[in-house]
Amino acid sequence: MESKLQLHGFNNLTKSLSFNIYDICYAQTEEQRLAYIDYIDEMYNAERLTQILTDVVKIIGANVLNIARQDYEPHGASVTMLIAEHELTSGEEPDNEESPGPLPDTIVAHLDKSHVTVHTYPESHPHDGVSTFRADIDVSTCGLISPLKVLNYLIHSFDSDVVTVDYRVRGFTRDVDGTKHYIDHDINSIQNYLTEDTQNAYQMIDVNVYQENLFHTKMMLKNFNLDNYVFGVNASDLDPKEAQSIEDRLRREMLEIFYSRNVE
């Protein structure tokens, strides 16, 4: 029989960060589309994703209890980690300031039970050459530090054209005098957890429900360089009209994902 984990300074608040990134590409031929998906599968296979999540666990100061990871056929991968607290050393306090996290220096935190997961979804349009890679990452903690501290690192770990971030604090925890606390840190916007260079690089909008401790931020890359999006060819080799048509399709794809609706 396995021994039970001892919990210290238990905090009943659950803080959940859901993070979705989209990388968009133009691959005109079937060969190029397959090559793009093979590239994504190699770039973000289960081993690489495990390393990214291991860094995430270090940032929030936890210990890995169990790792389940899987590569899939024909493509895609997923990793799930069960993690446990890493006690604060004497004199240390959790960093809950509304500011960006490290890239990725370790923050020692005090967590009781948590998990981190990632799933990837390579996808391609059957007709117009647009391919999209999506990664869904969830970080859930029951402890003193907010998982928002990993957001800065995660955005820099993927090539992200469009990003959606959801953060929610659920439940309540009691003070020593019995007072309920429904959130244990100040937060005005998820954007405050991003570095200045990231804020400058993305167009961002917030949809927040403060009284319910619900925070949502959408991000779309501002600068567009076609060379970063065409796969298997150079943008300079394309006919100008064709290049403009490809750019229009890619921009439309980004806008539709950003606004979560089809654009006519």
Can you name the CATH fold of 14-85+108-259? Answer: S-adenosylmethionine decarboxylase (3.60.90)
Q: Is the pLDDT of residue 89 over 80?
A: no
Residue 18 and residue 136 in contact, taking contact as beta carbons nearer than 8 Å? yes
Return mean pLDDT, the chain.
82
pLDDT tens for 207-229 read 999 999 999 999 999 999 999 99
Whether the per-residue pLDDT at 107 is higher than 90: the answer is no
Give the integer Cα–Cα distance in Å for 124 and 33. 7
Rounded to a whole number, what is the largest CA-CA distance in the chain? 72
Choose between 2 and 238: higher pLDDT.
Answer: 238
Decide if pLDDT at 3 tops 60. Answer: no
- Per-residue model confidence (pLDDT) at position 173: 82
Domain ranges (residues) in the chain: 14-85+108-259
**Could you tell me the pLDDT band of residue 99, with boundaries at 50, 70 and 90?**
low
Q: Is the dihedral of CA 98, 146, 15, 89 positive or negative?
A: negative
Q: What is the mean pLDDT of residues 172-186?
A: 84
Which is higher by pLDDT, 198 or 74?
198
pTM above 0.75, yes or no: yes
Measured between its terminal Cα atoms, the distance across the chain in Å is: 60
Q: Residue range 96-112: average pLDDT?
A: 45
Catalytic amino acids? 114, 119, 142
Q: Given this model, what pLDDT does residue 122 score? A: 79
Q: Check if the beta carbon of residue 106 is closer than 8 Å to that of residue 92.
A: no
Alpha-carbon distances, residue 171 vs 95, 106, 181, 187 (angstroms): 21, 27, 9, 17
pLDDT band at 30 (very low <50, low <70, confident <90, very high): confident
- What pLDDT shows up at residue 1? 52
Closest listed residue to residue 21, CA positions, set 196, 148, 216, 157: 157
Q: Look at residue 104 and tell me whether its pLDDT is greater than 60.
A: no
User: Can you tell me the mean pLDDT for 102-127?
Assistant: 61
103 pLDDT band, cuts 50/70/90, is: very low
187 contacts 174 by C-beta, under 8 angstroms = no
Query: Is the model more confident about 61 or about 145?
Result: 61
Q: How far is CA 3 from the centre of its chain?
A: 33
Distance in angstroms (rounded) separating the CA atoms of residues 190 and 254: 21
